[in-house]
Amino acid sequence: MSRVLNFYPGPAALPIEALEEAQNELLDWQKTGMSVLEISHRSKEFDAVHNETIDLLKKIYGIPDNYSVLLLQGGATLQFAMIPMNLIGNGQTASYVVTGSFSKNAFKAAKTLKSIHLACSTEEDGKHFRIPKPEEINLAPGSVYCHLTSNNTIFGTQWKSFPEYGEVPLACDMSSDILSRRVDFKPFGLIYAGAQKNLGPAGVTVVIIRNDLVDSSQEGLPDILSYKVLVSKNSLFNTPSCFGIYMMNKVLKWVKKKGGLAFIEQQNEEKAKLLYDVIDENPEFYVSKVEKDSRSFMNVTFNLPSEDLLTKFIEDAKTENIIGVKGHRSAGGIRVSIYNSNNLENVRVVSQFMKRFVEKNG
C-alpha cells in the first residue's frame, strides 16, 4: 500500500489505525451482516456508537456536566446562522471579532439575521496576520455573546489564550484546532467545529453548548434549527451523518490510546516548532508575515522569494510524497496543515525537505 504524506487543510488526513479498523468492519459491522453505511440510525447498534462517541468526546476533552454535545450536519457554515438565530432575541445584540476569512463569513451571516456589532477586525489589505490585543476588542454593551474563531486556517494565526468577559460567553468556531490542545471551558458558552480537520471525515459538525444557553434560546424556530429541539432529541431529530459519527468514534479512540490531550498537545507543539525553526533560520527565503505570538500550531504558512520557487517547492515536495502544501488562493504561498493525525515523524520529513530545498535554491 502506498500512502502519501497528506498535509491538505481539510478534509484532512485521518489516523491510519482508524481507517484500517473501518476497512476491516466495512462489510459486516458488529456481526450485524451489514455495513455501518447501511444500518438504521434508530437501531440499538447505532444508538450505542452514537452515545459512545459523545461520551468519548466529553471525557477526552474534559467537557463539564453543564454542557450538551450535539453531532449535527451543515458544517460550521450552518452554525454561522444558527447561533444568532438561537441566542439573540429581540432588541439584543452580539459582538464579533474578525481575524480571518471564516470569522468574516460568520459576521456576514449573522448580520443578515440580527443587529450585531463588529468588536474588532485585524484585516489589512484583505489579509489577516495577527490576533488582536485585548485592548483592541470593544464589545457592544449588553452583548449576549462574543464570537471568535480560534484558529485561522487560511492565514495561519491562532488564539493562544482566550479573552474572558464575565457574564458575556464566548461563541467559538474551533473547526481547525478542536481537540489539538487542552481547553478551559469557563469562558465559553458555545464551541462548534466541523469534524474534517481533527475529529473525523467531513459531514459531522460538533456543537458543545452550555445548558443555560439551550434553556434560554429563542422559540419559534424550525425544529431542525433549534438547539432546544436538537438537544432534547440527542442530535437524532433527523438522520445523522452515521458513517461520519462512526469514524469520529474511531478517531477519538485513537486519541485516547495515544495518551489523550496531554500527548496530542505536546506533539502539536513539537511539530510546529520543527517547521517554524526552519522558517526563522531562513527568514529571507521562507517569508512569514504572521506575527510570532499569533502563529498557528495547526496551519504553518509562509511564502518564497519568487513564484518560480513557489512552484518548484510544490513540485519537488510531490516527488518526496508530500502533498497538499499549496496555500489558499486568497493568501498564496505555502501552507502545511499539521493536524493531529500527522505525527512528529511526518512533519520531520517536511522540515528536512525545507532545509534541503533552501540549501539547493537559496
Place of cell 528536512: 352
Which set of grid coordinates corresponds to residue 23? 476497512
Share of the chain above pLDDT 70, in %: 100
Q: Any residues with CB less than 8 A from the CB of 147 and at least 6 apart, and which?
A: 83, 94, 95, 96, 97, 103, 106, 107, 110, 170, 171, 172, 173
- Say whether pLDDT at 49 is over 70: yes
Secondary structure in 3-state letters for 111-143:
HCCCCCEEEEECCECCECCCCCCHHHCCCCCCE
Query: Which helix or strand (DSSP H or E) is residue 209 part of?
Result: strand 205-210
Q: Any residues with CB less than 8 A from the CB of 346 and at least 6 apart, and which?
A: 5
pTM of the model: 0.97
- Mean pLDDT for 102-118 is 97
- Mean pLDDT for 79-93 is 98
Contacts of 24-29 spanning 24+ positions with Cβ under 8 A? none
What fold does the segment set 16-257 form as a domain? Aspartate Aminotransferase; domain 2 (3.40.640)
- Say whether pLDDT at 298 is over 70: yes
pLDDT digits (tens, 9 = 90+) for 191-239: 999 999 999 999 999 999 999 999 999 999 999 999 999 999 999 999 9
- Mean pLDDT for 44-57 is 97
- Say whether pLDDT at 1 is over 90: no
Write down the domain spans for the chain: 16-257, 260-361
pLDDT digits (tens, 9 = 90+) for 305-348: 999 999 999 999 999 999 999 999 989 999 999 999 999 999 99
Q: What is the CATH number of domain 260-361?
A: 3.90.1150.10
Which set of grid coordinates corresponds to residue 240? 445523522
